[in-house]
Structure 1
Amino acid sequence: MNDILVTGATGNVGRHVVSQLAEAGIPVRALVRDPSRATLPDGVQAVRGDLTAPETLEPALRGVDAVFLIWPGFAAETAEPVVEAVAKHARRVVYLSAHVPAAGDDDEPTIFHQQVERLIRRTGMAWTFLRPSGFAVNTLGWADQIRQGVVRWPFGAASRSLIHEKDIAAVGTHVLTSAGHAGAAYVITGPERLTQAEQVRVIGEAVGREVRWEDMPPQEARELLLASWGDPGFVDGALRGWESFVTSPETITDTVEGLLGRPALAFRQWAEDHAADFR
């Protein structure tokens, strides 16, 4: 098997894809901005490149058979040249996409990811799209408040099927190393729904601290997010998404179990795996 290139190779999902491929004895390249600073498993080749600068990708892609594509943010202006560069070298691509949070629309990706998916479909490469539910790892954003014992955030009753980043990586690794996935778009989720308030309680139990939830008015949260994220459209879209989960809880699928032969990891397992991050 020729090399597999993993983008976002030191991130929450990519680093697990890299390590799982390496453990399976698969030749793997890790795309990083600075190879001298990357900490990677033995046998993994660090290659320089940046998806926001598509002209840097050519050397990293030479001789590659497949690409696990994770996008760093939503740099839409570089989507087309990046996909073209990948298609020039790779036979297939596994793209970490997303799905829409609105009820009844869970099989469709968000607008940015729709654009990237369309570009990939047009290339003629064999493709597989992974469309995960909310990332459990995003709850690390509550870490400082968890340490203080109170989490203030909007929509405590929003119910989500958060997925462990290890499960996303395991599905990606399975798809990259087995046949029969070309043209598939997999919606992958955790095995259960928990409200945001329940997520906070579970994290507190994992770290041995009582933590309570306090609902924040959405307008106050909007002001905080605008200061942090800057993009009003992105902020308002996120708030609408969280609000929608109050009345229309996030979908649960059995796709992880169907592909891996084991249940998806529960949020409690994620919280225990990351307990040190909240202490």
Structure 2
Amino acid sequence: MQIAVTTPTGNVGRHVVAALLRAGVRPRVLLREPARLDPGVKDDVDAVRVDQYDGDAVVAATRDVDALFWVDPTTGSEDPLADYARATDAVVRAVTENGIRRVVFQSSVGAEKRHGAGEIDGLAHTETALDALGVDVTHLRCGYFFSNLELQRDALRAGSLQVILPLDQPMAWVAPRDIAEVAVGRLLSPAWSGRCVQAVHGPADLTWRQVAGILTAATGRRIAVERITDDAMRTQLSRAGMTDGLVEAVLGMSTGLRENFVPEQRRTQVSTTPTTLAAWTYDHLRHEIGDK
């Protein structure tokens, strides 16, 4: 089986590549800059330089591929949803023209809304486009990545987190490596077919107050969490260099899911993965933000 992996240096993709190698698979990896590959894996993969927004390039890079792990690339433009549409057009062309029969797509909790969830709407568009192709496709509806906390290192060092969600609203939190393990299981398993939605919810739903407590215990630094207004967060994102369009898309991922939202896939044994936020924080953040 020839398996292609997009974003192989990303939070999830690098773990997908490693797990495939452990399974004895030599994957084809698609990325903009092959030089960014981990030196430890570059001799064991077939790297292809690809811009995922370039349909011709994606089609050429996925010839003779049996299964594809697709992640819509990150965007920093004024119109993120237009970028998602371009990436979707590229994967649709690749699957159609190359006869790829199996796709595992990294989606998100909230994509089931289809509209009104900011940047997640772009993932919803990819879901529906892949569904229309009639191939075997699994959409991984993932919870909030633990690794998003790494984007707030400075705030964590200062002992604070600012969010726009209610502090006692629980949501699914998940380790990227656990998502990768689910993805690889789906890529390699012959036991499923048709359209599937696989939730990846992590070990527990957590509120932001609980998250602050876990971070405090794991790092030894007291972390306080504060709810701020949408406009205050909008200002912070703009000062960080985001375009106005991207600011609204990022905000929408929270505002679109905070009013009576319940994930379509409820937590079950199948959707629950093992890595805890405490364990992940101890491994990834303790040395950077811990109280010295």
- TM-score (norm: length of structure 2): 0.81
**Which residue in the other structure is 1:82 paired with?**
91
**Which residue in the other structure is 1:64 paired with?**
65
| Partners of 1:118 and 1:242 in 2: CA distance | 20
Matched position secondary structure for 1:187:
strand
| Partners of 2:251 and 2:157 in 1: CA distance | 28
Q: State yes or no: 1:206 paired with 2:218.
A: yes
Q: Residue 154 of structure 1: CA displacement?
A: 3.0
Q: 1:102 and 1:201, CA in 2 relative to 1: closer, same or farther beyond 3 A?
A: farther
Of 134, 144, 163, 1:134 maps to 144
The one-letter code of the counterpart of 2:174 is I
| Partners of 2:4 and 2:87 in 1: CA distance | 18
1:1-279 equivalent positions in 2, closer than 5 A: 1=1, 3-39=2-38, 41=41, 42-73=43-74, 74=81, 75=83, 76-89=85-98, 90-100=100-110, 110-155=120-165, 156-182=167-193, 183-228=195-240, 229=242, 230-231=244-245, 233-241=248-256, 243-244=258-259, 252-256=267-271, 263-275=273-285, 276-278=287-289
Q: Is the 8 A contact 1:160 1:249 kept in 2?
A: no
Q: Which runs of 4+ in 1 moved over 6 A?
A: none
63-72 vs 156-165, which moves further: 156-165
Matched position secondary structure for 1:221:
helix
- Tell me how large the CA RMSD over aligned residues is: 2.6
Q: 1:218 and 1:78, CA in 2 relative to 1: closer, same or farther beyond 3 A?
A: closer
Q: Is the 8 A contact 2:8 2:29 kept in 1?
A: yes
Structure 1 alignment gaps of length 5 or more: 258-262
**1:15-41 Cα shifts (integer Å, max 9, x gaps):** 100110011111201111122332252
18-27 vs 42-51, which moves further: 42-51
- TM-score (norm: length of structure 1): 0.85
**1:102-142 Cα shifts (integer Å, max 9, x gaps):** 99x9xxx9432222122212223221111112212112222
Structure 2 alignment gaps of length 5 or more: 75-80
| Partners of 1:178 and 1:52 in 2: CA distance | 29
| Partners of 1:236 and 1:84 in 2: CA distance | 31
Q: Residue 10 of structure 1: CA displacement?
A: 0.5
Q: 1:48 and 1:19, CA in 2 relative to 1: closer, same or farther beyond 3 A?
A: same
| Partners of 2:261 and 2:254 in 1: CA distance | 14
Matched position secondary structure for 1:64:
coil
Q: 1:159 and 1:91, CA in 2 relative to 1: closer, same or farther beyond 3 A?
A: same
Q: Is the 8 A contact 1:133 1:162 kept in 2?
A: yes
| Partners of 1:215 and 1:79 in 2: CA distance | 35
Q: Residue 53 of structure 1: CA displacement?
A: 1.6
The one-letter code of the counterpart of 1:202 is I
Q: 1:64 and 1:137, CA in 2 relative to 1: closer, same or farther beyond 3 A?
A: same
Q: Residue 101 of structure 1: CA displacement?
A: 7.9
Q: Is the 8 A contact 1:6 1:68 kept in 2?
A: yes
Q: Residue 188 of structure 1: CA displacement?
A: 1.6
